[in-house]
Amino acid sequence: MRLRALLETDALGLRLLGGEDELDRTVRGVMTTDLRDPSRYLSGGELVLTGLAWRRDAADTEPFVRILASAGVAGLAAGEAELGAIPDDLVQACLRHRLPLFAVNESVAFATITEHVVRQVSGERAGDLAAVVDRHRRLMTSGPAGGGPEVVLDLLGSDLDLRAWVLSPTGRQIAGAGAPLPPGIGAALAGEHLSATRTGRRGPHRAVVRGLTYSLFPIRNTGRGAAPATRDVRETVLSDWLLAVEADAGDWPAARLDLLQGVTQLIAVERDRRDAARTVRRRLAQEVLELVQTGAPPAEIAARLRVAAPVLLPGLGTAPHWQVVVARVEWGEGGTGAPGIDAGPVAQSLLEEILVDPATAGPDSADRIAVAHTGDEAIALVPLPAVPGADGDAPAEEDDAAPAPDGGGLHADALLAAVRGPLSAGLADDGRLTLGVSAAVHSAEGLRGALEEARHARRVAAARPGRVCAAGHHELASHVLLLPFVPDDVRRAFTARLLDPLRDYDRRHRAELIPTLEAFLDCDGSWTRCAGRLHLHVNTLRYRVGRIEQLTGRDLARLEDKLDFFLALRMS
């Protein structure tokens, strides 16, 4: 149907404010939104309905209209119920971008317009898809309130006789209609999907598992940044969901493929809603992490943990134990990284998925995820219910910073047991995931040591072969276990003697000697790997290391001096 037909429908009461020359545009759907940036939900050809709640002032108008025009929408209909007359800045912006603009009288409900458009669009489609498209379009206009992925998958089954499941990148079943997938099938399908995505092939992908054929449709999680076409696939491959349909889509007509693409867009809305629900937990983790890393007093950290505990373990009155999990995703041979890829958010999303997996973290794990990222690291603060007799009944003189008894906490090998296959496929030949798990501690005072322990365990994992590796606190037998218990004055004197000359030089000359030293030690003194990680010429790296040795009187070719620098950095 065309925009002109909507304007000529008296029951809709639309009033044209601009764009008369564009009224022959075809309307392929309808979407209601008050998001400032609805681009991720637009595929082109929609009539966009808005109540203008996104508009705080005139400065918001131009970006909103530009987004709609770039997405190729058919037109914009603005309601008068919120602000009364349509603002002139909106009229002028639509004229500049040649976007037809209609005013919707406050007496006309958006649902009336939606019903009319859906009925007209569906009536123009033939065969068994008409009713399904109608219902899906209704759901897509209402977003998650329409019932979520399960309702959409039920419709696929009842109207098209298609069995379908929504899977995470590790193969965990997020939604499905009817019986769940048999054990192991989800992981196998996720691995096939990730392998195909890394090769650059466009979906849907065909996979045959245990004699059954599946078609795999990507559910893009493009975020608020660049458009999918401009992003490196490695930024999303480990976080995108997929829709697995038990059928061979190779001989499907274009209309049915379009329908499934619409289903993935609807499910992407649910994905965005679930990501938004994690915002509070992410912020809590970031705040606690910053306090721990800046050496805040334990009382201040404990106060923040008391705020976090009810959010992460709702309904539990006892103080939990805490574990720290550190993960890093690295791209490029030798862990040198890939220019332009921010690995921190990738690791954060992936660590959230690993911890939510019911095979490793329990069915209530979605309420227990608090993952922050700093630099290339993702750091999870995982609460564990207190073990009776192990914490609350502990003697008063017990050291609060000591590790708590292991009361069923997370174990490194168990975390990766069910996900190693699909993640290895997604990492392909140029990526690595390394993960470290601390022991459980039962106080704020122990968190700094737990963080260092988890980081050291991750470095132990990084020294192992393989694309996906983990190590836990049980595998550590090193000085790092002692660092949290070194008196503060000793720590300060030791680190000042070694690092203050470098900090002073960095402050005066912006030379980045401290980051260079950290990278050099992390690369085990390899000039090539370190230069690659820092994106420097080897000669530049040699100059910086020479300056470090000159300022400190140490020799980084000597094991003893390397160890002293390593300890100083860990304690700083």
Whether residue 532 has pLDDT greater than 80: yes
Q: What is the pLDDT of residue 340?
A: 56
In a domain, 503, yes or no: yes
Per-residue exposure over 213-244, b if at least 16 CB sit within 10 Å of its own CB, e if not = ebbbbbbbbbbeeeebeebeebbbbbbbbbbb
Here the CATH number for the domain that contains residue 543 is: 1.10.10.2840
How far is 252 from 256, CA to CA, in rounded Å? 6
> pLDDT averaged over the chain?
80
DSSP 235: G
> Within 13 Å, how many C-alpha atoms sit on residue 226's CB side?
11
Report which of residues 33 and 159 the model is more confident about.
33
CA 538: distance to chain centroid?
35
Q: Are 216 and 203 in contact (CB under 8 A)?
A: yes
How are strands ordered across the β-sheet holding 46-50? 14-18, 101-104, 75-79, 46-50, 29-32
Q: Are 514 and 500 in contact (CB under 8 A)?
A: no
- Final residue of a domain: which of 229, 262, 277? 277
* Average pLDDT value for residue range 310-331: 74
In a domain, 127, yes or no: no
DSSP 403: B
Beta bridge partners of 49: 32, 77
In a domain, 125, yes or no: no
| Pairing assessment for the beta strands 46-50 and 75-79 based on DSSP bridges | parallel
Strand (E) or helix (H) holding 152: helix 148-160
In a domain, 426, yes or no: yes
Same domain, 332 and 445: yes
Write down the H helix ranges in 221-330: 254-277, 279-293, 298-312
Q: Are 17 and 102 in contact (CB under 8 A)?
A: yes
Q: What is the pLDDT of residue 70?
A: 92
Residue 101 has φ and ψ, to the nearest 5°, of -125, 130
**If pLDDT is split at 50, 70 and 90, which confidence band does 542 have?**
very high
| Range with the poorest average pLDDT among 188-197, 344-353, 496-505, 537-546 | 344-353
In a domain, 39, yes or no: yes
CA 527: distance to chain centroid?
33
Here the CATH number for the domain that contains residue 163 is: 3.30.450.30
Same domain, 92 and 165: no
Here the CATH number for the domain that contains residue 372 is: 3.30.70
Same domain, 234 and 288: no
In a domain, 210, yes or no: yes
In 318-408, beta strands by DSSP E: 321-331, 371-374, 377-384
- pLDDT per position as a tens digit, 260-283: 887 887 788 777 777 777 787 888
In a domain, 132, yes or no: no
Residue 228 has φ and ψ, to the nearest 5°, of -55, -35
Give me the sign of the Cα torsion angle 174, 180, 184, 188.
negative
- Final residue of a domain: which of 230, 246, 277? 277
Whether residue 243 has pLDDT greater than 80: yes
Whether residue 227 has pLDDT greater than 70: no
Q: What is the pLDDT of residue 489?
A: 72
Give me the sign of the Cα torsion angle 25, 31, 36, 40.
negative
Write down the H helix ranges in 52-146: 61-71, 88-96, 110-123, 129-142
Same domain, 324 and 465: yes
Domain count, the chain: 4
How far is 446 from 363, CA to CA, in rounded Å? 27
**If pLDDT is split at 50, 70 and 90, which confidence band does 541 have?**
very high
Beta bridge partners of 441: 322, 403
Report which of residues 422 and 392 the model is more confident about.
422
Same domain, 413 and 497: no
Same domain, 401 and 466: yes
Same domain, 299 and 369: yes
Whether residue 407 has pLDDT greater than 50: no
Report which of residues 513 and 489 the model is more confident about.
513
Q: What is the pLDDT of residue 361?
A: 42
Q: Are 480 and 452 in contact (CB under 8 A)?
A: yes
Q: What is the pLDDT of residue 214?
A: 94
Here the tokens at position 149 are 């992925």
What lies within 8 Å, CB to CB, of 30 at 6+ separation is 46, 47, 48, 49, 113, 114, 117, 118, 137, 141
Range of the domain at 531: 488-571
Q: Are 324 and 380 in contact (CB under 8 A)?
A: yes
Tell me the percentage of the chain whose pLDDT exceeds 70: 81
Same domain, 414 and 443: yes
Same domain, 70 and 203: no
Q: What angle do CA 465, 466, 468 make, to 5 degrees?
A: 130
Same domain, 204 and 89: no
In a domain, 124, yes or no: no
Same domain, 477 and 349: yes
In 319-467, beta strands by DSSP E: 321-331, 371-374, 377-384, 431-437
Whether residue 244 has pLDDT greater than 70: yes
Same domain, 430 and 397: yes
